[in-house]
Amino acid sequence: MIYPNVLLNSAAALKEWKKADLAATARRVLPYLPAQARIHTKLYPVIKPNKNSFVFETSTDPAIFLYLDPEVTREKFENTVSHEMHHIGFASIETQTEAQLAGLPTITRTTVEWIGAFGEGFAMLAAAGGPDVYPHEVSTPEERARWNQDMAHYNQDLRTLDQLFLDILHGKFKNKDEVDEKAFTFFWHPRPLVHSGLQSGGDHREAIWSRKIDRLHDECSPALANLQSRCDGIEQGRTSQQRW
């Protein structure tokens, strides 16, 4: 149930967010992307249970979903959109990246793919506008406090991550599933090590899983299209563009 006061507050937030210059927001992150990268996306403010943002279908029809939070200022909104736009820019060159990795041994490829998690740090830097800008300038006091606390452990955390990459490269895990299980632990509490001067402090599990869903969507699309064509002959009103 959505209460009237929630709608009123959300409407006020949306009015403020509409003042944002999204073109300028995109230009802010372009210097932190390869020259061939492109940013093309749709932005969806939504009212939902979790107050988080995430990107979806980055390899097909990129979209940014943002919880329409009345407590989020226009400046914070722009920062978050910049962060997500950087992810989309990186995703636009995924084909070129895959081509570069194609000739690598499997164990080396796995290591490089997990080093790619530092893309969160690039997005953080790009959204801030440069290394001399405090990355949580427009964030809440709680987010700033967490960032400052995490940064106190930066050197220790960097060594921990370095050891993870070395362990992957030296074959200390039985298989890729075991690598993933270990590596994903660096994203959650008590102190996500990927946050060590790299990440915004938000929960990026949705972004990670959306990339997995994108790959599944690409693999399953032919079968789904065939199933859809059969269903179209049975159920009227269903278009071939319907998403699953």
**pTM of the shown model:** 0.73
Domain encompassing residue 26: 1-102
Q: Residue 166 falls within a domain, yes or no?
A: no
Q: Which residues contact 60 (CB under 8 A, 6 or more apart)?
A: 214, 217, 218
The C-alpha angle with vertex 42 and arms to 16 and 112, in degrees rounded to 5, equals: 115
pLDDT digits 0-9 by tens, 189-220: 445 555 443 443 334 444 444 444 444 444 44
Q: Residue 163 falls within a domain, yes or no?
A: no
Q: How many domains, in total, are found in the chain? A: 1
pLDDT digits 0-9 by tens, 9-60: 788 889 999 999 999 999 999 999 999 999 999 999 998 878 888 888 888 8
Q: Residue 63 falls within a domain, yes or no?
A: yes
Residue 67, number of CB atoms within 10 A of its CB: 18
Residue spans of beta strands (DSSP E) within the chain: 42-46, 53-56, 63-67
Q: Residue 47 falls within a domain, yes or no?
A: yes
Residues 134, 29: Cα–Cα separation, whole Å: 16
Q: Residue 208 falls within a domain, yes or no?
A: no
Q: Residue 75 falls within a domain, yes or no?
A: yes
The predicted model gives 76-94 an average pLDDT of 93
Q: Residue 61 falls within a domain, yes or no?
A: yes
